[in-house]
Amino acid sequence: MRRREFMTLLGSAAAWPFAARAQQAGKLPTVGILGSSTQSSWAPWIAAFLKRLRELGWNEGRTVAIEYRWAEGREERYTEIAAEFVRLKVDVIVTTGSSVLAPKQATSVIPIVFALANDPVGSGYVASLSRPGGNITGLSVQTTDIAGKRLELLREVVPGLRRVAILANLSNPSNVLEADETRPAARTLGLEVATSDVRRAEDIAPAFEALKNSAQALYVCTDPLFAVTQIRVNTLALSARLPTIYGVRGNVASGGLMSYGANIPDMFRRAAELVDKILRGTKPADIPVEQPTKFDLIINLTTANALGLKIPPTLLALADEAIE
């Protein structure tokens, strides 16, 4: 073999993705998924994630292994799951929102991809959107820009809307940020707003009891707790005659009135692309944090009818999906 050919071969081997080398050695590259809520609520997102991975050449069980863990809305589980992934020596950890903090604290070596996070810079996950630094990158949800839009949608649907309640888990920094951004947006629209702090499932019923006759609509922050308890929240909201708006489609499919936010399956598809880059050797520090490009408006017409609300035709025409 000529020296030039040998050096070319040596250079190619050095650049060969570590995941491919691991696979050659008999161990599939492994992705650990830390699900903040339940398997069922994440199912559409995981399906989108796996589909994009397959398109990029990663087939679960054949070319990549995936370890799934579900926290089911219990924040204490984040730390346990992160520690387990470190022990398993997974190659990438994928998670969302406030559950990013646990793996961040558990490892500075294993790459971490957040499929969505509210203000990752302010939360301390990354140094900047363009230059994340460290071992973390992902996609930013940018709730800042759409809290006001959600309130405007409520005002379009609820005649004479003046008083809105915010349901938030204030133990979640992302919910604190979202609530803090919603209040000034409400004032700009001439709406009175009050925040109900719900940190456990047992807090939900008392919160609704306190809201009786004091609110005309309900803004529900995006939190794993409200994903796990979505049927209970929607049932109580319907009983209290409170139209709801969310950031996630799943809460509307289970009986909420409306949602407006980033298309989360699309975010998970793009997260798969980031995982692909990392498994092929790119460092998270060199992958800029991306922002959403698709936003969805979902309306549940059955819930609107139950509340005696008429959805304006102009708004219905803008909806990406109308659930009947």
Same domain, 167 and 86: no
- Domain interval for residue 11: 3-140+264-293
Same domain, 22 and 154: no
Number of H helices, E strands in the chain: 14, 12
Same domain, 121 and 177: no
Per residue in 265-296, pLDDT (tens digit) is: 999 999 999 999 999 999 999 999 999 989 99
Give the Cα separation of 263 and 197 in Å (integer): 26
β-strand partners of 69: 34
Same domain, 307 and 220: yes
Could you tell me the pLDDT band of residue 96, with boundaries at 50, 70 and 90?
A: very high
CATH value at residue 190 = 3.40.50.2300
Q: Of all residues in the chain, what percent are helix, strand and coil, respectively (each to 5)?
A: 45, 20, 35
Order of strands across the sheet with 258-262? 192-197, 163-168, 217-220, 244-246, 258-262, 295-300, 321-323
Could you tell me the pLDDT band of residue 122, with boundaries at 50, 70 and 90?
A: confident
Same domain, 109 and 48: yes
Same domain, 171 and 313: yes
Same domain, 229 and 313: yes
Per residue in 123-139, pLDDT (tens digit) is: 899 999 999 999 999 99
Provide the Cα torsion 73, 167, 169, 97; round to 10°: 70
Number of domains present in the structure of the chain? 2
The dihedrals phi and psi of 139, each to the nearest 5 degrees, come to: -130, 130
